Amino acid sequence: MILDQMIFNKSASRGSFEEDKKSERPMRSIVKAFTWRLVGTLDTLIVSFFVTQKLSLAASIASVDFMTKIVLYFFHERVWNTVKWGK
C-alpha cells in the first residue's frame, strides 16, 4: 500500500513548479552536488596526500573522485526528490 502510494500516486493536476513546494529544481540539485563535492574532494585530497605523500598523485585521485561522485550525487538527489516519504 505504501509502495503503491510512493510509485503510483500522482496528483490529478500537475501545476507549475511554484505550486509544488515539495520538489526541487534540477539546478538546485546541481549546485548542491557541486558544493558538496568541493568539500568531499578537499577531504579526499588531504587523505590521499597523507597516504601517498605525493601531491600530484593525491590531486589525480581527488580529480577522478570529484568527477564521478558529482554525477552520482546528482542522480541520487533526483531519485530522492521523487520519494514522498518524510516530506
22-77 pLDDT tens trace: 677 888 878 887 888 899 999 999 999 999 999 999 999 999 998 998 888 889 88
Interior/surface letters 63-78, b for 16+ CB within 10 angstroms, e for the rest: eebbeebbeebbeebe
To which residue does cell 513546494 refer?
Answer: 21
Sign of the Cα pseudo-torsion (67, 82, 84, 27, in order): positive
The conformation of residue 17, written as its DSSP 8-state character, comes to G
Ordered by start, the domain boundaries in the chain are 25-87
Whole-structure pTM value? 0.58
With left for phi above 0 and alpha for psi between -120 and 50, is residue 19 left, alpha or beta? alpha
CA 36 to chain centre: 8
